[in-house]
Amino acid sequence: MKLNIAVIPGDGAGPEMVLPALDILRIISRRYGHILKLTEVTACGKGIEEQGSPLPEEAQRVCLASDAVLLGNVGLKKYQDNPFHLRPEYGLLKLRRCLKVTTNIRPVRLYAPLCSLSPLKKEVTERGLDLIFVRDIAGGVLCSEQVRQVGEHGAEAYEYEYYNVDIVWDTAKIAFEIAGARKKKLLSLDKANVLESSRLWRKTVTQMGEHYPGIQLSHGYIDSAALKLVTHPEEFDVVVTSNLFGDIISDEGTGLTGTPGLYASAELSVKGPGLYTPNQLHHPDETMIGKQMVCPVGMIAAVALMLRCSFGLEEEAEAVEKGIEQVLEEGYVTADLAEKNLEKKQVVGTAVMGEMIARKIKEG
């Protein structure tokens, strides 16, 4: 298979994390006989510095012509006072519009050697946590026109929780496809007891379910699910929900592991290139940048997610995930994880961590 991938190394720790991820892509391609084409794209901070734009036109063209886009971290404090159109984050938003992505995918699972970092009680983590959040990113208040004005009571502001059938349909279809490849269970979350937009959401997801008779669809309320996720996370498998609700509950899910930076995120459309990033798009400690202290696992996990979602290469994706698990099980961590008071762990650099995962993949 031909794998045509655009690569944006990104800002801060992004380039350090992307390099081992690309090495692993090359290893996977050689092992399984794929033809790999990697095209580096100038964007984000580098785009601002070199071309005066966080997403130059050439970058857009290359990304649109690719099968998938791999993106490292986005944003640095040095740009935070720039006009928004000259900040790396604007390049990410522009890229999303360019690719017409509609749906965010966030897999979350507990890595057994790092369970002690979870804020959950031991009896809860022992039951496991392995689920996927599927979130609309095309509708709702986060994509709404923003209104700020003066009213009867002074300053007022609001957005619209807007949905239509097509927006819900796209995300629901992706969610049902993912559920079909797992336990064939899909939970849709909304607030249909009070919101008209949620009633449309629930009705449309139910209609989509008629096309997937082998999938067990259930509905729940977002507030009840947020509570249950803390007490019984093992009962969740694939969860689909709207933009704002998904933004919140997927962060809750990764936060419950205690290692939110070790997961991947995908932004997909029903057709067209997907965008793959680490779940944590900006490393919180900029003092670690450039010092080989940041864990590349989130970026490498993004490679696995890309192989699975954009190319349908399940065996290859599993090989990458198995390599990650084996290295973590052997007790290796990077400095950013070691800071969390983990005991009996061996600290290695970013590149070395990637090399160790790559070696496990080669060994099969």
pLDDT at 341: 67
Spatial separation of the C-alpha atoms in residues 45 and 42, rounded to whole Å: 9
Contact 304, 310 (CB under 8 A): no
DSSP state of 146: P
Spatial separation of the C-alpha atoms in residues 302 and 208, rounded to whole Å: 28
pLDDT at 233: 96
Q: Which of 130, 140, 109, 159 is nearest to 247 (CA)?
A: 140
Q: pLDDT per residue over 85-133, tens digit each?
A: 999 999 999 999 999 999 999 999 999 999 999 999 999 999 999 999 9
In the chain, which stretches have pLDDT less than 70? Answer: 341
Spatial separation of the C-alpha atoms in residues 88 and 73, rounded to whole Å: 10
5: which 2 tokens? 């991938």
pLDDT at 343: 72
pLDDT at 95: 95
pLDDT at 85: 93
84: which 2 tokens? 């928004």
Contact 240, 134 (CB under 8 A): yes
Spatial separation of the C-alpha atoms in residues 219 and 186, rounded to whole Å: 8
Q: Is residue 160 exposed (0-12), middle (13-18) or buried (19+ Cβ within 10 Å)?
A: middle
Q: Please provide the size of the chain in residues.
A: 364
Query: Residues near 33 by Cβ (< 8 Å), separated by ≥ 6?
Result: none
pLDDT at 16: 95
Contact 182, 236 (CB under 8 A): no
Specify the residue for token string 């919180």.
284
Which residues are bridge partners to 8 per DSSP?
71
